[in-house]
Amino acid sequence: MHRGRPWPLGASVTRRGVNFSVVAPLATRVELLLFAHGEASEPQRVVELASEHRSGDHWHGEVEGVGLGSCYSYRVYGPLQQGGHGFNPSKVLLDPCARAIAGWQGYQRSAAVGGAPNTSCCLKGVVTERELFDFDAAPRPRHSWQRSVIYELHVAGFTQGAGCPVPAEHQGSLLGLIDTLPMLQELGITAIELLPVMAFDPADAPAGRQNHWGYSPLSWMAPHPDYLVGNDPLTARDQVRQLVSACHQAGIEVILDVVYNHTGEGNQHGPTLSWRGFGDSLYYHQSIEGHYQDVSGCGNTVAANRPLVQRLILESLRCWATELGVDGFRFDLGIALSRGDGLMPLDQPPLFEAMEADPELADLKLISEPWDCGGLYKLADFPARRVATWNGKFRDDVRRFWKGDEKTVWGLGLRLSGSPDLYHPRLPHPGQCITFLTAHDGFTLADLVSFNGKHNLANGEDNRDGDNHNNSWNHGVEGPSSDHAVVSLRERQLRNLLATLLLAPGVPMLLMGDEVRRSQGGNNNTWCQNNPLGWMHWQPDSGDLALRTYLQRLLKLRLHLINLLDPEQPWTERPQRRSNDPSPHWRQWHGVELNKPDWAAWSHTLAWSLNDGVQGPLLWCGMNAYSRAVHFDLPLCPSGWLRVIDTALPAGEDLPSTPHPWTPRGAPLESRSLMLLASSRLFKNVQL
């Protein structure tokens, strides 16, 4: 046993053995427990870290005779905090910096609660390598924000289910995603955003269910074991690298949904698994009385403003970005990370400042939810220059317009203009605004047009969970229908919604399965549904495939237009172009008559054109959310119009691979339909 070093944190292989280092500022004594294997019920050796093994807040020691694959945990002694919680030496603790975890077979969450020992059913860290990702062999795709299309998916949910093309031995795993990459390439997405893949606690769920989504972190460093092939924890990191390498070679970026705002330890009455046992008052926001303060909705809130916590989060980001090669992160309830002591919002939160100043993180795509459960909501004023934010207002306003609500046309115009009301005094720069219609939390796109209310009884919470404000509409029948008129209208609405998303400014995000009408049976919160409700739809019928083809062509159309129109220049919003206007293109708003948009509360129609100072109109789009057909006047296009999209037409004709000439002087739009016309100059020798 040697004194060792305080850095790096966690377990790192040395010339003589392994150096162990952990943070426990208020501890009076720390024991390192070495186990013969991951399922051992008692430690093989207990090593006490005495005062000579302490450097400030760090406890450390170098142990000879151990190496890769060794299993270890800690026991920490110290005073109880005010409120009766704090150090609990009866609990064996997982190293917050462990890069692999063992002991899952015997793990019991309930044993980590109370005063009884949990030694026989605890989790152990595993000593692993810390090699860097080989970016020479698999360089980052580095797609610009302007050309990015994000596809949010769940690793296990996307790689299993009836008809799944993934080999049986890889279903439900990270490696299984590799078999789906050709399909994702063909669809036209540029990045996959994975729901949490850091180790989480499946047992943190109601009795008889399991935590499926993974928003119950047990570790910020180790991959989740259920997503791995085989039982060897030493292969975990290489399996992540294999997936990331395959994605890079396919031109697809990998973004991780990360949960740093809370942990799976719950409130002060929850289990002591890791962070709490090393520094209860360090890692969590607490009141003066010692009660946990919670803006995450999960019982605790991580104190990311504190230097030691900040360093651990940065270490996690570097671990996944530089060692495992991922290309970006999406921060769950990210604005919670900007709160200081007493949960006061900070204008310059230290975590985001350090993140943006870190050269090892400079090349990444960073995305955040701009809200938390405490009511804090910052979009344009999100306190981090390089972090994009989810535009939830876009989702709500687009849904409400196509649903036919009143007072929606003005809001739709703002969203199609880049949300200047939300990002004043200037429009968002490329990569600041993530636009979306659906996400894992809420209805799928197919359910959005098939249900008026949520149907979450399967979750075991008497339908109390999940959002009650979905802006959904069943179009006459709740759930599946055989009524041709209802089905036809729903199909048209799916196409209206997708076209609106992909013709709007911003970085679009799609939800897994929306392209093939995946349904969750009206459940808008499948967090505990590891079954077909939460899995991908792998047996599409002809209607499903028709929607997928429509979306493929939409994505090609979006890319074609971005390549033609300078994406660095936002479209100027004015009735007509001014002589000193620096932008070559400007948007003009119309109603059923040219240059006369109807912004009234009762209006359900809107049209716009994109114009060029030399070529004249380039695009015209009409949107009719009214219950009757409406005739729109068209601007004169010198080169002639082509009909690119008409959602009132049958599948295949609604967005043909080759646009057809449009000769009528006006545009008759059927009820609840969208039409896009383009100048023939834009589509010379182009096939979608």
The full DSSP string for 387-430 is: EEEE-HHHHHHHHHHHHT-SS-HHHHHHHHTT-TTTSTTSPPPT
Q: How far apart are CA 243 and CA 317, in angstroms?
A: 18
Do the Cβ atoms of 490 and 483 come closer than 8 Å?
Answer: no
Alpha helices in 527-636 (DSSP H): 542-564
Residues of the chain with CATH 3.20.20.80: 145-562
pLDDT in tens, 411-424: 999 999 889 899 87
- Helix-, strand-, coil-residue percentages of the chain, each rounded to 5: 25, 20, 55
Residue 571: the pLDDT is 58
The token duo for 519 is 């349904």
Q: What is the reported pLDDT for 449?
A: 98
Res 566 pLDDT > 60: no
Domain 145-562 has CATH 3.20.20.80: yes
Q: With contact defined as beta carbons under 8 Å apart, do 687 and 638 qualify?
A: no
High-pLDDT (> 70) share of the chain, %: 96
Q: Which is the catalytic residue, given 62, 95, 280, 332?
A: 332
Confidence category of residue 616, pLDDT binned at 50, 70, 90: confident
Would strands 605-612 and 585-590 be described as parallel, antiparallel, or unpaired? antiparallel
Q: Would you say residue 572 has pLDDT above 70?
A: no
Tell me what pLDDT residue 579 has: 46
Which class is 583-683 in CATH? mainly beta
Q: How far is CA 340 from the centre of its chain?
A: 24
Q: Which of 57-71, 257-271, 560-574, 655-669 has the lowest mean pLDDT?
A: 560-574
- Separation CA 304–CA 383 (nearest Å): 14
417-462: per-residue pLDDT in tens?
889 899 877 777 778 999 999 999 999 999 999 999 999 999 999 9
The span from the CA of 611 to the CA of 329, in Å, is 37
Residue 77 scores a pLDDT above 50: yes
95 assigned to active site: no
Distance between CA atoms of residues 289 and 408, nearest Å: 47
Q: Would you say 479 and 656 are in contact if contact means Cβ atoms under 8 Å apart?
A: no
pLDDT tens for 365-395 read 999 999 999 999 999 889 998 999 999 999 9
The DSSP annotation for 131-150 comes to: PPP-TTTS------GGG--E
What pLDDT, on a 0 to 100 scale, did the predictor assign at position 243? 98
Q: Where are the beta strands (DSSP E) in 572-685?
A: 572-573, 585-590, 605-612, 616-624, 630-633, 641-646, 660-662, 666-669, 673-679
- Residue ranges of the chain assigned to CATH 2.60.40.10: 10-126
Mean pLDDT of all residues in 101-129: 96
Global pTM value: 0.96
> At how many degrees (to 10) do helices 350-357 and 307-318 cross?
40
Output the pLDDT for position 573.
Answer: 60
Q: Domain 10-126 belongs to what architecture?
A: Sandwich (2.60)
Q: Specify whether the CB–CB gap between 509 and 150 falls below 8 A.
A: yes
Q: Among residues 265, 323, 369, 646, which one is catalytic? A: 369
pLDDT band at 81 (very low <50, low <70, confident <90, very high): low
Question: Which amino acid does the sequence have at 203?
Answer: A
Please give the distance of CA 281 from its chain centroid, rounded to a whole number: 29
Task: Check residue 82 and give its pLDDT.
Answer: 62
What 3-state DSSP class applies to 111? helix
Q: Residues spanned by CATH 2.60.40.1180 within the chain?
A: 583-683
Model pLDDT, residue 612: 85
Rounded distance between C-alpha atoms, residue 544 and residue 552, angstroms:
13
pLDDT of residue 615: 83
Q: Is 369 a catalytic residue?
A: yes
